[in-house]
Amino acid sequence: MNKKADVLVIGGGVIGTSIAYYLAKQKKKVILVERYDHAAGASGSCDQMIIMQSKNPGVHLQYALASAEMYKTLSQELDYDIGYHKEGGMILIETSEEMEVMEDFVARQKEIGLQVEILTRKEAAKHQRGLAEHLVGATYSPQDAHIDPMKLNLGFAYAAKKLGVEILLNTEVTGIIQQGNKVTGVETNQGTILAPLVINAAGAWAPLIGQMVGLELPIKPRRGQIAVSEPVAPYVKGDVLSARYIVAKYNPDILEKSDDRAVQLGVGLALSQTEKGNILIGATREFVGYDLGNTREGIKEVLKNATRLVPGLKKMNFIRVMSGVRPYTPDGLPLVGFVKGLEGFFMAAGHEGDGLALAPVTGKMVADIIEEGKTFMDVSAIDPNRFNL
């Protein structure tokens, strides 16, 4: 195989396919290569939340809000039902210390424009049944939503294909072709593809692609384990997180210092119900390299935590487990943009636990930057060169 394109995208997850779709709308000749199949990475082994409340108040939340706007009409735009439902979401609060942190978080989120409020336990119980008595309250936002991640991934892929994107599955990038400090294409296990622009959208595997061009990317795989229930009648309303989820997400150092095993494993509640009725119960946040297994201990702690916060779940049967690796970055923001000193190499990875929420806006911003050299939002906070690559 010897092929040529204007742009070569590495990775067929939600980020790579979103980018391919928005670039094709700009009339670029795009080839996307994926070593296995769509949703083979984190995009196929995750929860389903398009949640605003978990985002750090600041650019993180601003990008998520821009994406949330795009989600409202994305099924129509892609001509593919991505299972979008906007049912709001809550973050459960267990202690007065957590309440203090969340009050500050909520105040700052409101300043960015998120509709969010603090509820008493009694008010929270009106939104979600089965909650524990010891909760002191919850935050609530009507702007939280969810989608089906597999359908999102396929929706972007099919729409991209309709616009002429060539998608090569079972095609693994094995090397990057360079002339001096200029990237000119990739080597794959199926042959060579020449392109003056290569986009690294390989999620948690992006650092391995980076190594092919001598870059030490600060992205690390962070495993999340999830338990799945049998399908049941509607039980979980919207997205339900716990304040400990927020701590686990943004403060890995605190977790490592704790003696509590659940805390060490980064367990924080992430609860939602699929269209078919299965309840997704997450999750751990662990640095165990590319180990994609599930552990008895991890799942036990996830379920213990969930039933402690929502005892009503005790009557459900759990039938399946899964795990995926989030692409973690030290500041919680992805790396999106051209890499200085390496012409033709563009980064679009590192979305940690927010890749679904940020997929549409990432694709749009990347396509704008490539086509016009600028986009509708300030992207300096996600510039990959902030890490002095």
Ligand X SMILES: Cc1cc2nc3c(=O)[nH]c(=O)nc-3n(C[C@H](O)[C@H](O)[C@H](O)COP(=O)(O)OP(=O)(O)OC[C@H]3O[C@@H](n4cnc5c(N)ncnc54)[C@H](O)[C@@H]3O)c2cc1C
The distance of closest approach from Cβ of residue 45 to ligand X in the complex, given in angstroms and rounded to an integer, is: 6
Nearest to 229 by CA among 269, 272, 285, 292: 272
* Backbone φ and ψ of 242, nearest 5°: -120, 155
The contact pattern for ligand X, residues 216-235, with x = CB under 6 A and - = no contact, is --------x-x---------
Q: Which of 57, 89, 203, 210 binds ligand X (CB under 6 A)?
A: 203
Rounded to a whole number of angstroms, the minimum distance from the CB of residue 122 to ligand X is: 27
Query: Is residue 353 at the binding interface for ligand X, with CB under 6 A as the rule?
Result: yes
Size of the site for ligand X (CB under 6 A): 43
One of 65, 102, 114, 349 touching ligand X (CB under 6 A): 349
- Tell me: does residue 47 bind ligand X (CB under 6 A): yes
> What is the distance between the alpha carbons of residues 256 and 129, in angstroms, rounded to a whole number?
33
The tokens of 346 are what?
A: 């563009």
Compute the CA torsion angle 57, 59, 61, 65 (nearest 10 deg).
150
Specify the stretch interacting with ligand X by CB under 6 A; choose among 44-52, 78-86, 116-124, 240-248.
Answer: 44-52
> Is the Cβ of residue 193 or residue 283 nearer to ligand X in the bound state?
283
**In the bound complex, what is the minimum distance in angstroms from residue 32's beta carbon to ligand X?**
9
User: Is 185 an interacting residue with respect to ligand X (CB under 6 A)?
Assistant: no
How far, in Å, CA of 254 to CA of 31, rounded? Answer: 42
Opening angle at CA 6, ends 14 and 327, nearest 5: 30
Residue 16 sits in the site that holds ligand X (CB under 6 A): yes
Q: Which helix (H) or strand (E) holds 15?
A: helix 14-25
Given 6, 25, 26, 40, the residue binding ligand X (CB under 6 A): 40
Contacts of ligand X in 251-310 (CB under 6 A): 282-283
User: Is residue 171 a contact partner of residue 188, using CB atoms and an 8 Å limit?
Assistant: yes
DSSP code of residue 203: G
Segment (H or E) for 14: helix 14-25
Q: Which residues make up the interface to ligand X (CB under 6 A)?
A: 10-16, 33-36, 40-43, 45-49, 172-173, 201-205, 224, 226, 282-283, 324-327, 349, 351-357
